[in-house]
Amino acid sequence: MKKFMRVGIRVVCAVCGQSKAPIGRSISALTSDSYCHYECDGYRKKPYAGSLFPNETEEDFGFPISDDGTEWKEVESEVGHGYGKTSIAK
């Protein structure tokens, strides 16, 4: 079943040039070096980081998120997923 939902995109930091780590998500020590995170001056500046990893859908995440660091995409959704937002108004 296809439906529209927010999908994470790569947000590149204007200061260090790395991809911004999603806000509040645990990044393993192994991958933290390749992400811009809260210690960088640019992390909290535009373009703002969102809550999703690139290509992760809001349904996969399952919690309310902002529009930052996402784009609306039509994606294939598992039926009977059981969590996540299933209705998108607007």
By CB under 5 A, name the one of 3, 16, 77, 84 that touches Zn ion. 16
- Smaller CB separation from Zn ion, 40 or 75: 40
By CB under 5 A, name the one of 40, 48, 73, 84 that touches Zn ion. 40
DSSP letter (8 states) at residue 37: -
- CB within 8 A of 60, min separation 6: which ones? 84
Q: Based on the shown chain and the rule CB under 5 A, indicate whether residue 1 belongs to the binding site for Zn ion.
A: no
User: Phi first, then psi: what are they for 48, rounded to 5°?
Assistant: -75, 140
- For tokens 């500046």, name the residue: 45
> With CB under 5 A as the contact rule, which of the stretches 34-42, 51-59, 68-76, 81-89 interacts with Zn ion?
34-42
- What three-state secondary structure class fits 73? strand
- Give contact residues for Zn ion (rule: CB under 5 A): 13, 15-16, 36, 40, 42
